[in-house]
Amino acid sequence: MSTSSPLPVLRGNRGAVLRRDGDALVLRRSAEEMRIPFAAIARIRAEGRAVAVELTAPGGAVPAVHRLDGVSAASAGVFASAVTNGLPSRPRDAEAVDGSTLVTVEAVTESANERRARWAKRGAITVVLGFGALSVAMGVVGGNAATWFLGVMVLIVGPAGTAVTAVGAGGMWLAYLAWFLPRHGITVEAVRVSDTTDLLGRSGNYAYTDTSGTSHRRYVKGSAATVPIAYHPAKPATAVVCHSWGRKLWDTVFCLGVLLFGLALLASAVVLAIGTFQGAYDDAMTPR
Strands 17-20 and 24-28: antiparallel
Give strand pairing partners of 215: 209
User: Residue 164 CA to chain centroid, in angstroms?
Assistant: 19
Q: Is the pLDDT of residue 282 over 90?
A: no
Mean pLDDT of the chain: 87
Q: How far apart are CA 36 and CA 17, in angstroms?
A: 13
Tens digit of each residue's pLDDT (9 = 90 or more) over 227-248? 999 999 988 889 999 999 999 9
Q: What is the mean pLDDT of residues 102-123?
A: 80
The reported pTM is 0.63
Contacts of 196 (CB under 8 A, 6+ apart): 202, 203, 204
Q: What is the mean pLDDT of residues 28-56?
A: 90
| pLDDT at res. 35 | 92
Quick one: pLDDT band at residue 1, thresholds 50, 70, 90?
very low
Tens digit of each residue's pLDDT (9 = 90 or more) over 164-187? 999 999 999 999 999 999 999 999
**CA distances (Å), origin 216, targets 34, 104, 153, 171, 207:** 28, 29, 45, 22, 6
Quick one: pLDDT band at residue 201, thresholds 50, 70, 90?
low
